Amino acid sequence: MIEGWRWYGGYDRISLSEIAQTGAVSIVTALHEIPYGQIWPRETIAKTRAQLQGAGFAWTVVESLPVHEAIKRGEGNLTEFFANYRQSMANLAAEGIKVICYNFMPLLDWTRTDLTAPVARGGTCLRFSAAKMAAFELYMVQRPNAEEDYCEQVLAEAKRWFEAATQPDLDRLTQSIMAGLPGAYDRYDPNGLREALLPYEGLDRAALRQNHKRFLEEVVPAAEDLGLKLAVHPDDPPRDLLGLPRIVSDADDINWILSAVESPSNGLTLCSGSLGANPKNDVPAIAERFAGKVHFAHLRNVAKDPDGSFEEAAHLGGDTDMPALLGVLLREDARRRREGRADDEIVFRPDHGHELLTDADRGAHPGYPLIGRMRGLAELRGVIAGLTAAGAVTA
């Protein structure tokens, strides 16, 4: 497995020279400045690749090449959007990219309600509070019928929180929920989000699935021709949100997507944190089932609450058995080497670390601190070394 690191380019407060000191050798990045639906020019890709190579890094995984919202909605004439996506893929392949991570979450990306929840022995983490999300939907966005998506306990807690909240509390909640949107894209206030939801009215699970299938039918053949692997990222959190369906939340969803268009290029980003936030998911078992289609891995851990809330745990803490998961991925890597597919070695990256020590002073992208992720990478590296030394992986 190859140690990677997420980097936000010109938007990142962490430098490539600092990342080099973590030991990571492969940068995972994207052209965040290019609006959704536009072609990624080859010359811009080449410039980024040269910058990374000059700093001593490989760049083989893009995270993410965004899917335009019109494609997710299945709205209008999509010919240009699909053509642009295929051209961007071709330009990336021409510059040595092997894997494209993407997601099919409508409107929002990963979503949290708290960006600086306290950790027991110091530092902070990302947290998703079901009650705060309910308060946001019910009282701030005022989404019709939002109460149907939450249990009585969460609704009561949401009402108590909202009634006690100050304006700074409400502003902080909005900012937290918007923080998952990458790069320089516009964020919404509650009124703006209410308006942004209107084009999605009537989009149910079946329709979103069919729109995803159409996307795969349009781009997977091109990926095969280009020698690229597409890797869908699971929903985060793995539940419907804001009345919008999410369709990459468990093993059945993943199986449907990978079967919708049968191809070695139609694969999975194994995100242990996203999948781990769903109580019914056994993440090592999911990894075992779909190991041959795992093209990229995000390794992090979460601790879940009974009401649907969760927070980012230490990489070796939380509810997912990380050594068991790493064992699955290491065995899959070994199998690929035995089959002469060493170029398919899985790039993984430590995901969503705690803010520790001086991380809080840096102002890095939420969830992507330097010290917290370096700790996570070191822990994962140690488990990998231990499993390998114990003979748990056949090379």
In this structure, are strands 294-299 and 266-271 parallel, antiparallel, or unpaired? parallel
351 is catalytic: yes
What's at 254, amino acid-wise?
Answer: I
CB distance 272 to 163 below 8 Å: no
Residues with Cβ within 8 Å of 11's Cβ and at least 6 positions away in sequence, in order, are 32, 183, 184, 365
Q: How many CB atoms lie within 10 A of CB 21?
A: 10
Q: Residues 298, 333, 344, 354: which is the catalytic one?
A: 298
Please give the Cα distance from 304 to 279 (Å, whole number): 8
Q: Residues 233, 295, 315, 354: which is the catalytic one?
A: 233
What's at 96, amino acid-wise?
Answer: G
Instruction: Name which of 296, 252, 392, 303 is nearest 117 in CA terms.
Output: 303
Please give the Cα distance from 320 to 158 (Å, whole number): 28
352 is catalytic: yes
Q: Residues 68, 295, 315, 352: which is the catalytic one?
A: 352
Helices (H), the chain: 16-20, 42-54, 69-73, 79-94, 130-135, 152-164, 167-178, 190-197, 205-226, 251-260, 272-276, 283-289, 322-338, 359-362, 370-389
Looking up tokens 């249990």 gives 151
Q: Residues 200, 271, 295, 333: which is the catalytic one?
A: 271
36 is catalytic: no
Q: Residues 12, 114, 344, 351: which is the catalytic one?
A: 351
298 is catalytic: yes
101 is catalytic: no
CA distance readout (Å), 350 to 7, 29, 301, 379: 12, 14, 10, 9
68 is catalytic: no
Instruction: Name which of 107, 110, 49 is nearest 351 in CA terms.
Output: 110
Residues with Cβ within 8 Å of 182's Cβ and at least 6 positions away in sequence, in order, are 8, 30, 32, 64, 109
What's at 340, amino acid-wise?
Answer: G
CB distance 271 to 278 below 8 Å: no
Please give the Cα distance from 164 to 132 (Å, whole number): 12
Q: What residues are labeled active site?
A: 233, 271, 298, 351-352, 368
